[in-house]
Amino acid sequence: MSGPTELLLEVRGLAVHYGGIRAVKGLDLEVREGEVVCLIGANGAGKTTTLRALAGLAPSTGSIRYAGSEIAALPVHRRARLGIALVPEGRGIFPRLTVAENLDMGAYTRNDRVGISEDLERVYGLFPRLKERQAQTGGTLSGGEQQMLAIARALMGRPRLLLLDEPSMGLAPLAVEKIFETIRLIAAQGMTLLLVEQNARLALAASRRGYVLEGGRIVHQDQAPALLASPRVRAAYLGA
């Protein structure tokens, strides 16, 4: 153990391939308890694949240590039960379940009724729009509302590590604003976050540290302000 807070996630030599295509080629990263870390990179760099491997959706090799134990061999639902929540790219709303049922699914592994209803009030407080729409099916929501629902649903599981894959993708500027405001709020309340974004400026502004992914490898890592100031990062990802 090193540093002031404990390592929650420690990844060593993570590799994923799809048939002959190597999408992630031996990647190391770590996230401390309570930290917000982002993973930035161009389209196709391997960001989604990395998060899917961490959640157990993509078969991978290498070591994934989480909360002190090796989880690389565990199936997806066991990792979920350990407190790893992924808000997937494209949001993954259950289209024919209502908003309330989607949120219920987020709490699937829990049976503390009181805690669940407290958390339900909490996420309705974060996203009042969802409360208004609780009886509507997920498929009828707008893109921004679906993203809110996906984040709220993940929070309903009381995760210890929240993985967010491109929460701003395909949303109107106002909705992006709202989503990132909520992300900062959740982070301020102490949630540990690993955030993937193509919108590097937004992601770095919300994070403490960042990794830059290129062609399935980490090519750069630093504190977020340093990355924001780095000429290389500015040229490649910040359009400056």
Partner 1 sequence: MDVLLQQILNGLILGSLYAMVALGYTMVYGILELINFAHGEIVMLGAMVAVSVLALLTALGVPVPLALLAALTAAVAVCVATGVLVERVAYRPLRNAPRLAPLITAIGVSIVLQNLAMIFWGRQYLSFPPVLDIQIYEFAGATITNVQILIVAVAAVTMGGLLLLVQRTRLGRAMRATAQNREVAGLMGVDVNRVIAATFAVGSALAAVAGLLIAAYYGIAHYNMGFILGLKAFSAAVLGGIGNIPGALLGGLLLGVIESLGAGYIGDLTGGFLGSHYQDIFAFFILILVLIFRPSGLLGERVADRA
Q: State the residues that interact with Mg ion by CB under 5 A.
A: 48, 89
CB nearer to partner 1: give 85 or 212: 85
Is residue 44 at the binding interface for ligand ADP, with CB under 6 A as the rule?
A: yes
Q: What residue 81 binds from ligand ADP, partner 1, Mg ion, none (CB within 5 to 8 A, per partner kind)?
A: partner 1
Q: What residue 225 binds from ligand ADP, partner 1, Mg ion, none (CB within 5 to 8 A, per partner kind)?
A: none
CB nearer to Mg ion: give 44 or 68: 44
At which residue do the structure tokens 């701003």 appear?
168
Is residue 63 at the binding interface for partner 1, with CB under 8 A as the rule?
A: no
Among 30, 89, 104, 214, binds partner 1 (CB under 8 A): 104
Q: Report how far residue 51's alpha carbon sits from residue 46's, in angstroms, rounded to the nearest whole number.
A: 9
At which residue do the structure tokens 């994923």 appear?
16
Choose among 131, 160, 163: nearest CA to 148: 131
Among 8, 14, 23, 54, binds ligand ADP (CB under 6 A): 23
* Contacting range for ligand ADP; rule: CB under 6 A; set: 7-15, 29-37, 42-50, 72-80: 42-50
Burial class (CB in 10 A: 0-12, 13-18, 19+), 213: buried
Question: Do residues 31 and 161 touch, judged by C-beta distance below 8 A?
Answer: yes
Q: Give the number of residues in contact with partner 1, rule: CB under 8 A.
A: 26
CB nearer to partner 1: give 96 or 232: 96
Q: Report how far residue 27's alpha carbon sits from residue 219's, in angstroms, rounded to the nearest whole number.
A: 10
Is residue 86 at the binding interface for partner 1, with CB under 8 A as the rule?
A: yes
Q: What are phi and psi of 108, to 5 degrees?
A: -55, -40
Is residue 93 at the binding interface for partner 1, with CB under 8 A as the rule?
A: yes
Q: What are phi and psi of 133, to 5 degrees?
A: -105, 20
Q: Which helix (H) or strand (E) holds 61?
A: strand 61-66
User: What residues line the site for ligand ADP (CB under 6 A)?
Assistant: 18, 21, 23, 41, 43-49
